[in-house]
Amino acid sequence: MKKQIFISLVALLLVLASACSKKPYFVSPNFKQTTKTHQQVAVLPVKMIFTGKPMGLLEEEDIESLEEGESQAFQMSLFNQLLYSTNSGKKGMYVSIQPVEITNKKLAEKNISVRESWDMLPTELADALGVDAVIKTQVSKQRYLTDLAAYGIDIGQKVLLLLTKGKSFLTLGGKNLDKTSDMNAKCSLYNSNTGEVLWSMGLTETTEWNKPSEEAIDDMNQRFAKNFPYRGKRKK
Protein backbone atom coordinates (compact mmCIF):
# COMPACT_ATOMS: atom_id res chain seq x y z
CA MET A 1 0.00 0.00 0.00
CA LYS A 2 2.79 2.40 0.97
CA LYS A 3 4.63 1.48 -2.22
CA GLN A 4 1.58 2.31 -4.33
CA ILE A 5 1.18 5.64 -2.56
CA PHE A 6 4.86 6.42 -3.14
CA ILE A 7 4.59 5.55 -6.85
CA SER A 8 1.48 7.71 -7.15
CA LEU A 9 3.21 10.66 -5.51
CA VAL A 10 6.22 10.31 -7.80
CA ALA A 11 3.94 10.20 -10.85
CA LEU A 12 2.08 13.29 -9.65
CA LEU A 13 5.32 15.20 -9.10
CA LEU A 14 6.52 14.30 -12.60
CA VAL A 15 3.26 15.55 -14.11
CA LEU A 16 3.47 18.80 -12.14
CA ALA A 17 7.11 19.29 -13.11
CA SER A 18 6.23 18.75 -16.76
CA ALA A 19 3.37 21.25 -16.55
CA CYS A 20 5.54 23.84 -14.84
CA SER A 21 8.34 23.47 -17.37
CA LYS A 22 6.05 23.96 -20.37
CA LYS A 23 6.67 27.36 -21.89
CA PRO A 24 3.61 29.63 -22.37
CA TYR A 25 4.72 30.51 -25.89
CA PHE A 26 6.01 29.05 -29.15
CA VAL A 27 9.56 29.66 -30.33
CA SER A 28 11.08 28.29 -33.53
CA PRO A 29 13.59 25.50 -32.87
CA ASN A 30 15.92 27.27 -35.32
CA PHE A 31 15.46 30.69 -33.77
CA LYS A 32 19.10 31.39 -32.87
CA GLN A 33 20.37 30.27 -36.25
CA THR A 34 17.68 32.10 -38.21
CA THR A 35 18.13 35.38 -36.35
CA LYS A 36 21.93 35.45 -36.09
CA THR A 37 22.14 38.35 -38.57
CA HIS A 38 19.07 40.24 -37.31
CA GLN A 39 19.74 43.84 -36.31
CA GLN A 40 16.36 45.56 -35.99
CA VAL A 41 12.74 44.62 -35.32
CA ALA A 42 9.60 46.75 -35.77
CA VAL A 43 6.41 46.75 -33.70
CA LEU A 44 3.45 47.13 -36.06
CA PRO A 45 0.12 48.84 -35.35
CA VAL A 46 -2.07 46.33 -33.52
CA LYS A 47 -5.15 44.88 -35.23
CA MET A 48 -8.24 45.59 -33.12
CA ILE A 49 -11.35 43.42 -33.22
CA PHE A 50 -14.44 44.58 -31.33
CA THR A 51 -16.77 41.76 -30.23
CA GLY A 52 -19.29 43.72 -28.16
CA LYS A 53 -22.68 45.18 -29.00
CA PRO A 54 -22.41 48.03 -31.55
CA MET A 55 -23.18 51.53 -30.32
CA GLY A 56 -25.79 52.96 -32.63
CA LEU A 57 -24.90 56.64 -32.25
CA LEU A 58 -21.28 56.13 -33.23
CA GLU A 59 -20.82 56.65 -36.95
CA GLU A 60 -18.53 54.38 -38.95
CA GLU A 61 -15.81 57.03 -39.22
CA ASP A 62 -15.94 57.54 -35.44
CA ILE A 63 -15.51 53.82 -34.81
CA GLU A 64 -12.61 53.64 -37.26
CA SER A 65 -10.93 56.59 -35.56
CA LEU A 66 -11.37 54.96 -32.16
CA GLU A 67 -10.07 51.57 -33.27
CA GLU A 68 -7.03 53.12 -34.94
CA GLY A 69 -6.34 55.11 -31.78
CA GLU A 70 -6.48 51.91 -29.72
CA SER A 71 -4.26 50.21 -32.28
CA GLN A 72 -1.51 52.77 -31.83
CA ALA A 73 -1.91 52.76 -28.04
CA PHE A 74 -1.25 49.00 -27.96
CA GLN A 75 1.65 49.46 -30.37
CA MET A 76 3.30 52.16 -28.22
CA SER A 77 2.71 50.17 -25.05
CA LEU A 78 4.32 47.01 -26.46
CA PHE A 79 7.32 49.02 -27.68
CA ASN A 80 7.75 50.59 -24.24
CA GLN A 81 7.35 47.30 -22.40
CA LEU A 82 9.99 45.66 -24.60
CA LEU A 83 12.41 48.42 -23.62
CA TYR A 84 11.43 48.29 -19.95
CA SER A 85 11.86 44.50 -19.80
CA THR A 86 15.58 44.85 -20.48
CA ASN A 87 15.91 47.37 -17.66
CA SER A 88 13.97 45.24 -15.17
CA GLY A 89 16.35 42.33 -14.83
CA LYS A 90 15.83 40.48 -18.11
CA LYS A 91 18.84 39.74 -20.28
CA GLY A 92 19.46 42.43 -22.87
CA MET A 93 18.32 41.94 -26.44
CA TYR A 94 20.86 41.62 -29.22
CA VAL A 95 18.59 43.50 -31.63
CA SER A 96 17.21 47.03 -31.53
CA ILE A 97 13.51 47.87 -31.62
CA GLN A 98 12.63 50.45 -34.25
CA PRO A 99 11.00 53.48 -32.57
CA VAL A 100 7.23 53.54 -33.13
CA GLU A 101 7.38 57.07 -34.52
CA ILE A 102 9.78 55.93 -37.25
CA THR A 103 7.73 52.81 -38.00
CA ASN A 104 4.51 54.77 -38.45
CA LYS A 105 6.22 57.52 -40.44
CA LYS A 106 7.70 54.98 -42.86
CA LEU A 107 4.31 53.30 -43.27
CA ALA A 108 2.71 56.67 -44.01
CA GLU A 109 5.43 57.49 -46.55
CA LYS A 110 4.60 54.22 -48.31
CA ASN A 111 0.89 55.21 -48.25
CA ILE A 112 0.09 52.35 -45.86
CA SER A 113 -2.58 53.35 -43.36
CA VAL A 114 -2.86 51.93 -39.84
CA ARG A 115 -5.87 49.84 -40.85
CA GLU A 116 -4.28 48.59 -44.08
CA SER A 117 -1.20 47.43 -42.19
CA TRP A 118 -3.34 45.06 -40.11
CA ASP A 119 -3.89 42.64 -42.98
CA MET A 120 -0.73 43.03 -45.03
CA LEU A 121 1.84 40.24 -45.26
CA PRO A 122 4.68 40.42 -42.72
CA THR A 123 7.22 40.21 -45.55
CA GLU A 124 5.68 43.25 -47.29
CA LEU A 125 5.70 45.29 -44.10
CA ALA A 126 9.24 44.28 -43.17
CA ASP A 127 10.41 45.34 -46.62
CA ALA A 128 8.64 48.71 -46.35
CA LEU A 129 10.19 49.32 -42.94
CA GLY A 130 13.67 48.03 -43.71
CA VAL A 131 13.79 45.67 -40.72
CA ASP A 132 14.74 42.03 -40.17
CA ALA A 133 11.50 41.00 -38.45
CA VAL A 134 8.12 42.46 -37.52
CA ILE A 135 5.86 41.99 -34.51
CA LYS A 136 2.18 41.61 -35.43
CA THR A 137 -0.46 41.58 -32.71
CA GLN A 138 -4.22 41.05 -32.81
CA VAL A 139 -6.52 42.01 -29.93
CA SER A 140 -10.18 41.08 -29.50
CA LYS A 141 -12.17 42.89 -26.82
CA GLN A 142 -15.74 43.56 -25.78
CA ARG A 143 -15.55 47.29 -25.17
CA TYR A 144 -13.96 50.39 -26.62
CA LEU A 145 -11.27 52.08 -24.56
CA THR A 146 -11.93 55.74 -23.82
CA ASP A 147 -8.98 57.00 -21.78
CA LEU A 148 -6.24 56.90 -24.40
CA ALA A 149 -4.85 60.33 -23.50
CA ALA A 150 -2.01 58.66 -21.56
CA TYR A 151 -0.58 57.64 -24.94
CA GLY A 152 -1.04 61.09 -26.44
CA ILE A 153 -3.94 59.89 -28.57
CA ASP A 154 -6.93 62.17 -29.10
CA ILE A 155 -10.04 60.18 -30.02
CA GLY A 156 -12.08 63.34 -30.41
CA GLN A 157 -14.48 65.06 -28.05
CA LYS A 158 -17.52 63.82 -29.93
CA VAL A 159 -16.51 60.16 -29.62
CA LEU A 160 -15.57 60.56 -25.97
CA LEU A 161 -18.91 62.14 -25.13
CA LEU A 162 -20.85 59.42 -26.93
CA LEU A 163 -18.94 56.71 -25.09
CA THR A 164 -19.41 58.26 -21.67
CA LYS A 165 -22.83 59.94 -21.87
CA GLY A 166 -25.34 58.07 -19.77
CA LYS A 167 -25.59 54.46 -18.64
CA SER A 168 -26.67 53.18 -22.04
CA PHE A 169 -23.26 54.12 -23.45
CA LEU A 170 -21.39 52.65 -20.52
CA THR A 171 -22.85 49.19 -20.88
CA LEU A 172 -22.46 46.65 -23.63
CA GLY A 173 -24.79 43.72 -24.06
CA GLY A 174 -26.47 44.47 -20.72
CA LYS A 175 -23.18 44.37 -18.79
CA ASN A 176 -22.54 46.95 -16.10
CA LEU A 177 -19.26 48.75 -15.60
CA ASP A 178 -18.45 46.88 -12.38
CA LYS A 179 -18.34 43.52 -14.20
CA THR A 180 -15.35 42.05 -15.99
CA SER A 181 -14.46 41.66 -19.64
CA ASP A 182 -12.05 39.38 -21.47
CA MET A 183 -9.45 40.87 -23.77
CA ASN A 184 -7.79 38.23 -25.97
CA ALA A 185 -4.51 38.91 -27.74
CA LYS A 186 -2.00 37.06 -29.87
CA CYS A 187 1.47 38.47 -30.50
CA SER A 188 3.75 36.96 -33.17
CA LEU A 189 7.22 37.66 -34.52
CA TYR A 190 7.74 37.08 -38.27
CA ASN A 191 10.97 36.74 -40.22
CA SER A 192 11.33 39.39 -42.93
CA ASN A 193 12.52 37.14 -45.76
CA THR A 194 10.29 34.09 -45.40
CA GLY A 195 7.37 35.25 -43.26
CA GLU A 196 8.17 32.36 -40.91
CA VAL A 197 6.74 32.61 -37.39
CA LEU A 198 9.76 32.84 -35.11
CA TRP A 199 7.90 33.34 -31.84
CA SER A 200 4.25 33.56 -30.81
CA MET A 201 2.26 33.94 -27.61
CA GLY A 202 -1.44 34.21 -26.78
CA LEU A 203 -3.01 35.83 -23.71
CA THR A 204 -6.39 36.46 -22.16
CA GLU A 205 -6.58 39.45 -19.83
CA THR A 206 -9.64 39.69 -17.60
CA THR A 207 -10.20 43.32 -16.75
CA GLU A 208 -12.66 45.32 -14.69
CA TRP A 209 -14.91 47.46 -16.87
CA ASN A 210 -13.77 50.56 -15.00
CA LYS A 211 -10.08 49.63 -15.12
CA PRO A 212 -7.99 52.36 -16.80
CA SER A 213 -7.17 51.58 -20.42
CA GLU A 214 -3.49 52.28 -19.82
CA GLU A 215 -3.31 49.70 -17.03
CA ALA A 216 -5.14 47.00 -19.01
CA ILE A 217 -2.98 47.52 -22.10
CA ASP A 218 0.33 47.65 -20.23
CA ASP A 219 -0.46 44.57 -18.14
CA MET A 220 -0.92 42.48 -21.25
CA ASN A 221 2.09 43.84 -23.09
CA GLN A 222 4.29 43.43 -20.04
CA ARG A 223 3.64 39.68 -20.18
CA PHE A 224 4.45 39.59 -23.90
CA ALA A 225 7.69 41.49 -23.32
CA LYS A 226 8.71 39.25 -20.44
CA ASN A 227 8.70 36.22 -22.76
CA PHE A 228 10.01 37.94 -25.89
CA PRO A 229 13.13 36.34 -27.43
CA TYR A 230 16.45 37.75 -28.75
CA ARG A 231 17.88 37.53 -25.23
CA GLY A 232 21.43 36.74 -24.19
CA LYS A 233 24.40 36.33 -26.50
CA ARG A 234 23.98 36.20 -30.28
CA LYS A 235 24.77 32.83 -31.83
CA LYS A 236 27.81 33.05 -34.12
CB atoms within 10 A of CB 66: 25
Report the chain's mean pLDDT, rounded to a whole number.
Answer: 80
The helix-helix angle for 122-129 and 100-109 (nearest 10°) equals 100
Can you name the residues that pair with 208 across neighbouring β-strands? 180
pLDDT digits (tens, 9 = 90+) for 130-146: 999 999 999 998 777 76
Checking if the pLDDT of 120 tops 80, the result is: yes
Could you tell me which residue, 76 or 141, shows the higher pLDDT? Answer: 76
Identity of the highest mean pLDDT range in 70-74, 102-106, 150-154: 102-106
What domains lie within the chain, and their CATH numbers? Answer: 26-226 (3.40.50.10610)
Could you tell me which residue, 73 or 151, shows the higher pLDDT? Answer: 73
134 contacts 42 by C-beta, under 8 angstroms: yes
Checking if the pLDDT of 23 tops 50, the result is: yes
Helix (H, G, I), strand (E, B) or coil at 66: helix
pLDDT of residue 48: 92
pLDDT of residue 14: 39
Kindly state the percentage of the chain with pLDDT values over 90.
48
Of the listed ranges 44-53, 160-169, 214-223, the least confidently predicted one is 160-169
pLDDT digits (tens, 9 = 90+) for 145-170: 766 766 777 766 666 666 665 333 33
Long-range contacts of 121-124 (CB under 8 A, 24+ apart): 121/195, 122/190, 122/191, 122/192, 122/195, 123/190, 123/192, 123/193, 123/194, 123/195
Checking if the pLDDT of 8 tops 50, the result is: no
- Euclidean distance between CA atoms 213 and 33, whole angstroms: 38
pLDDT of residue 179: 52
State the number of CA atoms in the 13 A half-sphere of 117 facing the CB: 33
Could you tell me which residue, 157 or 75, shows the higher pLDDT? Answer: 75
Q: What is the pTM of this model?
A: 0.80
pLDDT of residue 236: 64
